[in-house]
Structure 1
Amino acid sequence: MSNEPATPDRYAVIGFPVKHSYSPFIHGMFARQTKQNLTYRLLETPPDELTTIVGRFFFGEGGKGLN
């Protein structure tokens, strides 16, 4: 068994604008309380970049889910 931590599951809230969202804070608190290894971030995504950013998140970064 390895002593290295597993790679965290990646989640994000996506929108434009999205910087006002408390979702990363809320999901981060929940993850710590339930001992889940995850990251949850903001993805500021202008409409004309939606397809590119969603594709990069899931296929390039191994993202698990978007809200």
Structure 2
Amino acid sequence: MSPSTVENIAHCEFAYLRDLLIRTHMQNIKDITSSIHYEMYRVRRLHENNTVAAHANGIPEHRLVAHEM
């Protein structure tokens, strides 16, 4: 089976462009994923866990404080 026209380097430079962009921006992608996306997920999960624990202890939700970045 032959590669699609876009993937065929004899007809198109897309594969070279894709590889160049991934190589040059991979560290930036990793940094953004770690510092923004993971931290937002972590804060959301901590808030959910605190809410569940507070409800189990009888603390009203309006007294909960989320510690966000």
TM range (shorter): 0.3 to 0.5
Normalization by structure 1: what TM-score?
Answer: 0.34
Structure number with higher strand proportion: 1
Structure ranking higher on relative contact order (CA contacts 8 Å, 6+ apart) = 1
The structure that has the greater radius of gyration is 2
Normalization by structure 2: what TM-score?
Answer: 0.33
